[in-house]
A and B are shown apart, each in its own frame.
Chain A
């Protein structure tokens, strides 16, 4: 592994800012002094503007001649950009040692990227070390099945199970990946 200090140093030497903290602070404090413009406007001004707009739109819809109906052709759905936070999927709740099916995503790999494949089990706990296991399954079999059966840890707790690496089938390299969050339930007395 590359030592931590080496990574920090590579990032530090390649990101030396030559700007002036004083000048940037001057811009920030100046911007803070200026109140947001909308808060200076009286509230009634916005309400009145909205009312005028609604009236104008209403009048337009009453008086404007309607366009002829559009020809019956399929129009492409316009693309829109949304920024919606994607909720994390709930972890799968399993018994200790239960068999889990991890569905693999596969992509053609490039020469020189060969690694593993390995199974990583990451406990959801600060300071806990992962278990990293080399997989012995045959590449061709994994590619044919499209999934891998693994055993959940026995110890109750939350884990992230990751399968990654490359497999080879008939001289073609593929990279595989699967990820599943699980919670191993404590055994009931």
Chain B
């Protein structure tokens, strides 16, 4: 763990608002994206992340010095997001995976093709079961290492590796099927 983060956590444990806010801003982006990709609904993702920060900050006194904050906090986010998603499933609120606007590009034609490819890949990611999708999200959204994913999900490292490998194999197959047989591996 970086010294700056350790120092920040020490200050946050003493209740310094500035330190708490800095931790919040550092981890907000990946936390909210992760929560959204789990819940598939922005409003519930915001609720989940709000609850996760409150729980994490209230439990900071028990957080062991020297340990990395991100895997610990990500575990809280995952739990909150899963819980809110199951609430969402019970009341049958619609999922709202929205069309995202990634902005205009210099070459509209190649940009449209590229965008279509990314959407197909995203669609393929969403067809993976949670067993494979969650480790994938932790790797590519939360940017955790395989060891940190194992720590976060409390599964052995070899299981993480195997699941990531299988997930990527399945993505390759799904994308090939969506593209009608051809796989663009050149990118």
Query: A-side interface residues toward B, CB under 8 Å?
Result: 1-4, 6-19, 21, 24-25, 27-29, 31-32, 85, 88, 112-113, 115, 120, 122-126, 130, 158-160, 162, 164, 179, 181
Contact = CB atoms under 8 A, between A and B. Distances in A.
B157 A29 contact: no
Contacts of A115: 169, 173
Interface stretch (B3-11, B23-31, B65-73): B23-31
Contact of A11 (B42, B122, B177): B122
Given A15-B141, A28-B24, A28-B53, A130 B165 contact: yes
Given A6-B121, A7-B168, A124-B157, 20 more contacts: A2-B121, A2-B171, A3-B187, A4-B140, A9-B118, A10-B125, A11-B122, A11-B125, A11-B140, A15-B33, A15-B100, A19-B46, A25-B24, A31-B50, A120-B162, A122-B158, A124-B158, A125-B157, A126-B147, A158-B156
B44 to A, nearest CB: 12
Given A9-B118, A14-B118, A17-B36, A123 B140 contact: no
A17 B54 contact: no
Nearest to A21: B28
By secondary structure, the A interface counts as mixed
Contact of B162 (A3, A6, A32, A160): A160
B150 to A, nearest CB: 9
B75 interface: no
20 contacts: A2-B172, A7-B171, A8-B141, A10-B118, A13-B102, A14-B122, A15-B100, A17-B45, A24-B28, A25-B24, A28-B50, A29-B17, A29-B21, A31-B50, A32-B20, A126-B147, A130-B165, A158-B156, A158-B158, A179-B162
Nearest to A125: B157
A160 B157 CA distance: 9
Interface of B: 17, 20-21, 24-25, 28-29, 32-33, 36-37, 42, 45-46, 49-50, 53-54, 57-58, 97, 100-102, 115, 118-119, 121-122, 125, 136-137, 140-141, 146-147, 154-159, 161-162, 165-166, 168-169, 171-173, 175, 177, 185, 187
